[in-house]
Structure 1
């Protein structure tokens, strides 16, 4: 079925052909007739399936470009996603005479207010900035008849709920409301019941998985020590040679250190933070899209809605927090029917997270390892190592990750040993342990026991004195020491008792002791 048969006008179909889009995607085939008919809609479809055009084309066709007032509003959770929607709106709205303006947080407010003077028919923006402009009375939403909330699940579950609801209340009562997302969370379902009237729901399960993941996406995981993850990332990028890769981390505070280490190793790396300013974010994305940056580090919040056509690889340095986060991370690749790979790096204690994601998403994670510069299955790699004798355990190799060579592992052990020596915790090899055991049997002294300064000299003197006593007594046991006089004992007891007492009490006790008759 063509776009014309779905109800689009000639201006839009010609623009689509010029952009190289000849046939609609599955989600577009289902959404266009319903949305052109004016029904509220819910579009739940995997990332990269054409959701943006599925709601944007009907919106642009229904807008009257000759009216000098805002008639449509599109809200997105991030600056990047809002700018992507804005670029599409400008491209497809131009032949229809529809003006669009972006109101995006992090950009110059004064400049955006200046653009509002052109009386745009479509506003695309982030909820916080749109509400800020609306509160200044520079933006009127009473004539809005078409409202779209993209990435609805994230907006309603991660802090943008109040702003969105405030803006929806300001729009016209007879508006058409469309919610769009890759996953349908409980928060999104609650918003549907509150803000939509008998909505139409998209269904693309015939082409894609119900979990929101593309069927052309491969799921791999590598298991190793936490401290070796950066080393593994370097190996993956160098051996797989992807045209570009997106690297996810859970903790924003780790991005700076990770970026510095990867750059030190010679990789071209940029990073996106959740609070990255609009200009810096745009420059970083431009370098990444142009191929000047090989690797882009991002958090879940910073990467929301990134549209990276042809991205072949997503690497998750730390496992996703839950199934929804995994879907949105992995959805950056394998878009529009292309193949892609999502790699998760886990420590042994994180293995249960992979098992949990497999059950929740209904996918299979393949265990992989690096062997002689190639990514192979774990079974194949271990079999080849065993056949070549490389897989047999040798002294000092216990605990070596399967993807790490012996030389690299031994080098990491040396570094670890050097760090522990610097902290006074030198690891003891087996030979040293055996020697210390012999010393314990011979001397009865614990190895590594601390001694005071001069203790060795005193011990030598005691040993020499004992030798002289042995010569004097002919090897016979020395006589028992004579008991100390009672007076000395009483004096010591008095001194112990007087310790810490005031001077007047000490004088009184000493006087009483002098008056006491000798025993």
Structure 2
């Protein structure tokens, strides 16, 4: 953990007080590179400590005495930007470093008031940052460090032009850092065109410290019965599950059905208002609902503790996508389960995909209010023996 010694005493003290036993692999690799001022493209799984890997060097390199915004962190969703702000506020408490959040859906006037005070670091979403830059309220030429979190999302078609405009408005000698769980062609193009000799870093799931035991399983279910299966799972004692649906239309349909069925489930998607999203997340985090159902984009970067199950309501298209979503359970030494709701039409694709999994999936059913190994045939056979 050599990089800790390169930090100022105040940040060393904060690290010690945070109670971290060891740095994560991405932190070991990325902090020294960022402290050296290099442009970086870093690939590392969800939950691997990426946020702190760029927050620490930013805190070390900014000068809070200087009345200028020196670092900007861009995130694709409001939730992720709020999480980053929370991390920054925790670390900057009691210091002169100031942080302001600039996200869509929040009060613009209040944000402008805060910007006038020249916060040291700003964190925001592309649309709002772009508005503020266009209206000359946010000056990109003062930014010394620009971090793109979940860079593959930021460089997807929806945000690409806005992001290129923001980057091109910064000084040529600023530091540009892009982190993501997956590096796409768009990300590589950014690296080639807009970065100076970027350092490429990569951490895989295998490089991560020992996780808990993760079971891979599936329940056979008709496509039309998946919503009811989710409802039944939500009533199993001790379940705290993150459920993924492949597209927004499907999610909205399931959400509507579940509202009328006494299900301990909330949804998270892009069409919800900021306060609705916050309420849904709070209910899930507090354990008042058992299942949070979301699309991949809506769940990006969400840091939720003690997830017992990841549920693939739809079979993911690729093994990478399957493993990426599945990384949300079995963390910090706790065991977890990855459960796929398997419709007949997807069986062949799932069989092919499961060959790339760390362990062979087991078939399960809900029996006696629990998820147990077996098929409907085995339960029928046991019933006949009685």
Give the TM-score of the pair, scaled to structure 1. 0.68
Distance in 2, Cα, partners of 1:259 & 1:9? 49
Q: How do 1:316-355 and structure 2 match up within 5 A? A: 316-355=312-351
Query: Structure 1 residue 136: deviation in Å?
Result: 0.4
Cα pair distance change 1:268/1:159, threshold 3 Å: same
Distance in 2, Cα, partners of 1:328 & 1:63? 33
Distance in 2, Cα, partners of 1:371 & 1:298? 22
Corresponding residue of 2:190: 191
Deviations 1:116-142 (A, max 9, x none): 111111111111110111000000010
Deviations 1:397-433 (A, max 9, x none): xxxxxxxxxxxxxxxxxxxxxxxxxxxxxxxxxxxxx
Corresponding residue of 2:289: 293
Corresponding residue of 1:372: 367
Q: Residue 70 of structure 1: SS of its match in structure 2? A: coil
Query: Structure 1 residue 214: deviation in Å?
Result: 6.9
- 8 Å CA contact 1:46, 1:214 repeated in 2: no
Corresponding residue of 2:268: 272
- 8 Å CA contact 1:316, 1:345 repeated in 2: yes
Q: How do 1:92-131 and structure 2 match up within 5 A? A: 92-131=91-130
Cα pair distance change 1:356/1:170, threshold 3 Å: farther
Q: Which moved more, 1:143-152 or 1:24-33?
A: 24-33
Distance in 2, Cα, partners of 1:356 & 1:184? 24
Corresponding residue of 2:222: 225
Query: Structure 1 residue 290: deviation in Å?
Result: 2.0
Deviations 1:471-502 (A, max 9, x none): xxxxxxxxxxxxxxxxxxxxxxxxxxxxxxxx
Q: Residue 301 of structure 1: SS of its match in structure 2? A: helix
Corresponding residue of 2:143: 144
Deviations 1:359-400 (A, max 9, x none): 5x5544503222633434447x7557546647xxxxxxxxxx
Give the paired residue count.
384
- 8 Å CA contact 1:249, 1:317 repeated in 2: yes
Corresponding residue of 1:238: 235
Q: Residue 148 of structure 1: SS of its match in structure 2? A: strand
| 5+ long unaligned stretches in structure 2 | none
- 8 Å CA contact 1:16, 1:22 repeated in 2: no
Q: Residue 91 of structure 1: SS of its match in structure 2? A: helix
Give the TM-score of the pair, scaled to structure 2. 0.90
- Quote the RMSD (CA, aligned, Å): 2.7
Cα pair distance change 1:339/1:166, threshold 3 Å: farther
Q: How do 1:30-109 and structure 2 match up within 5 A? A: 30-109=29-108
Distance in 1, Cα, partners of 2:136 & 2:219? 54
Cα pair distance change 1:113/1:335, threshold 3 Å: farther
- 8 Å CA contact 1:46, 1:208 repeated in 2: no
Q: Residue 142 of structure 1: SS of its match in structure 2? A: helix
Corresponding residue of 1:304: 300
Higher strand fraction: Structure 1 or Structure 2?
2
Select the structure of larger CA radius of gyration.
Answer: 1
- 8 Å CA contact 2:354, 2:361 repeated in 1: no
Distance in 2, Cα, partners of 1:261 & 1:177? 45
